[in-house]
Amino acid sequence: MSDAVDGLAHLWSVAGQRANLRLSPHQLRALRILESGPGLNLTALAEGMDIGLPTASRLCDRLEAAGLLERELHPHRRREVQLHLTGRGRQVLVEVASRRTHALAVVLATMDPAEREALSRSLRAFLTAQEGGHHGTTGPRDPHH
């Protein structure tokens, strides 16, 4: 089981890194969290990623420098900064998702239909169990991770 999970994690990571812009798994996760929660502040992002504020700030600095993220002052709380994906940030997420979907489809195509169906049932059961217990998870559930 561990080997299968490692293989899937490797496939996911490699497919994500083959995008035009090389991003770390942490950077991709931050982009996905911001995609599902536009306008989050730095504290919310740090909590969602289970990282410290200084680490989250440096992460956002790099994403902003790459043109994937922009910071805007909150319209009512001028001391608070909101984080938003840029068009390029959204484009990168689409590209990564497409590459991952393709990489997974290539592997699944080598399996017979009964194996694919069994895998699909097992993964749905895994997600149900994970969502019910939240074992080993922190922060908001990332639907793309």
| Amino acid identity for residue 59 in this structure | L
Residue carrying structure tokens 């002052």 = 73
Residue 11 has a pLDDT of 80
Whole-number Å distance between alpha carbons of 138 and 50: 7
pLDDT in tens, the chain (145 residues): 888 888 888 887 777 665 556 788 889 999 999 999 989 999 999 999 999 999 999 999 999 999 999 999 888 887 889 999 999 999 999 998 998 899 889 999 999 999 999 989 998 998 899 888 654 444 444 444 4
Residue 91 in contact with residue 69, Cβ under 8 Å? Answer: no
Domains of the chain by residue range: 2-133
pLDDT digits (tens, 9 = 90+) for 124-141: 998 899 888 654 444 444
Q: How far apart are CA 40 and CA 38, in angstroms?
A: 6
CATH class (in words) of the domain with range 2-133: mainly alpha
